[in-house]
Amino acid sequence: MIFRIWIVVALSVVSSFCLDHVYMVRAGFGGAGFTGTDAQSPVHPKFSYSLNALGAQSFYGGGPLWGTELSLSSSHMQQDTVLWDAVTGNYNDSSTYQLSWIKPGLGIFLMKSWDFGLNISAGPQIGYLLSCTRTTHGENRSCEDDYQNIQVEVQGDIQYIYGDLVGLDFKWVQSVLPVESKGGRQIFQSLGSIGVSYLF
């Protein structure tokens, strides 16, 4: 249901201003993980997938393109935690849990295009943590309150367009503000993906 709603909104918003230039949809697959100062909880990327809708048009007078992008990503990670024993005063047990995020995002970007099919784009993005599930020993619990709901990110993309119809790209999204900063921790999320695009 979430994906259906997102597709309708994405196509409506992007197509509303992109009337005569680049308009594309993208599907990506890659890996997501955390970085930052939390030595007790290393995170191992597993996989992520995303859907994107992009629209771009030129500035008055030509030059680079500018546009908007709506994204919906699902990220899956594995995190190791070390448990504190108040009796012994030591970290003496460890466990592993699975972390799954669903996050829509809205971005603005600048795009430089070359005639031989190469596009490079970059810009800021605002993400919203729609759903977070933590699975430990087969038990699921919601964890939206453990992380920042509004997440400020930057993204960059390098893409090759073949035949003005199909594109292949690599995209990197990095949070610039901590997604978690409790107890002195500064945790950031990063996501890299390879995507296939279809241009209209």
Q: What is the CATH number of the domain that holds 181?
A: 2.40.160.20
Query: Distance between CA 147 and CA 135 in Å, rounded?
Result: 16
Structure tokens at 89: 């005063």
Read off the pLDDT of residues 62-92 as tens digits, 9 standing for 90 and up.
667 888 888 888 888 776 665 545 555 554 4
Average pLDDT, the chain: 77
Let me know: does 135 contact 149? Beta carbons within 8 Å: no
Instruction: Give the pLDDT score at 95.
Output: 57
Containing structural domain, residue 143: 2-199
Read off the pLDDT of residues 88-139 as tens digits, 9 standing for 90 and up.
555 445 556 677 888 888 888 888 888 888 999 999 998 888 888 888 777 8
Query: Distance between CA 22 and CA 65 in Å, rounded?
Result: 9
Q: Which helix (H) or strand (E) holds 59?
A: none
Query: Distance between CA 149 and CA 82 in Å, rounded?
Result: 25
Q: How many CA atoms lie within 13 A of 144 on its CB side?
A: 8
In the 8-state DSSP scheme, what is residue 164? T
DSSP sequence for 70-94: EEEEEEEEEEEEEEEETTTTEEEEE
Number of structural domains in the chain: 1
